[in-house]
């Protein structure tokens, strides 16, 4: 059976959206919630799709770079050659960045398991999501 294992992460960062005509144009912060979903068959031996520790191993360095940072100043952040969208760090651009970087982290899980979605909550009621086509 094909299932999706999901790991949740929380981090805090500040940003501003210079091209937005509204309150988000000013410096402000968020407590972001990131959900990472990995899809595959349940392993007969372990009973798992993926070890949640494997997802954590892939995501942790990214969160360490973002947590308690001013996102607009992270223009030099480029894990695996994927540049962080510091010029305009919207939830949409950030979720794209997470997805692109995490797709290169396939060594963190088994070959028959793949990244299937990344969801980034900017507030408790608003999120952007990437899903594998």
Do residues 115 and 109 make contact, with C-beta atoms less than 8 angstroms apart? no
**pLDDT over 80 at 106, yes or no:** no
Instruction: Give the pLDDT band (50/70/90) at residue 123.
Output: very high
Domain total in the chain: 1
pTM attached to this predicted model: 0.94
**pLDDT over 70 at 107, yes or no:** no
Q: How many CB atoms lie within 10 A of CB 38?
A: 25
∠ Cα 8 117 55 (to 5°): 45
User: pLDDT tens across 45-76, in order?
Assistant: 989 999 999 999 999 999 999 999 999 999 99
Do residues 24 and 16 make contact, with C-beta atoms less than 8 angstroms apart? yes
User: pLDDT tens across 13-23, in order?
Assistant: 999 999 999 99
Indicate which CATH number applies to the domain containing 127: 3.30.479.10
- Expressed as residue numbers, the domain containing 46 is 2-131
């Amino acid at each position: 059976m094909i299932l999706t294992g999901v790991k949740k992460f929380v981090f805090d960062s500040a940003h501003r959206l210079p091209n937005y005509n509204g309150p988000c144009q000013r410096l402000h912060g968020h407590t972001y919630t990131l959900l990472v979903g990995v899809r595959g068959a349940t392993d007969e031996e372990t009973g798992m799709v993926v070890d949640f520790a494997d997802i954590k191993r892939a995501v942790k360095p990214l969160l360490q770079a973002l947590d308690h940072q001013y996102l607009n100043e992270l223009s030099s952040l480029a894990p695996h050659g994927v540049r962080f969208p510091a010029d305009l760090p919207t939830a949409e651009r950030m979720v794209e960045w997470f997805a692109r970087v995490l797709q290169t982290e396939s060594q963190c899980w088994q070959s028959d398991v793949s990244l299937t979605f990344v969801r980034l909550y900017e507030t408790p009621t608003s999120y952007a999501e990437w899903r594998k086509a």
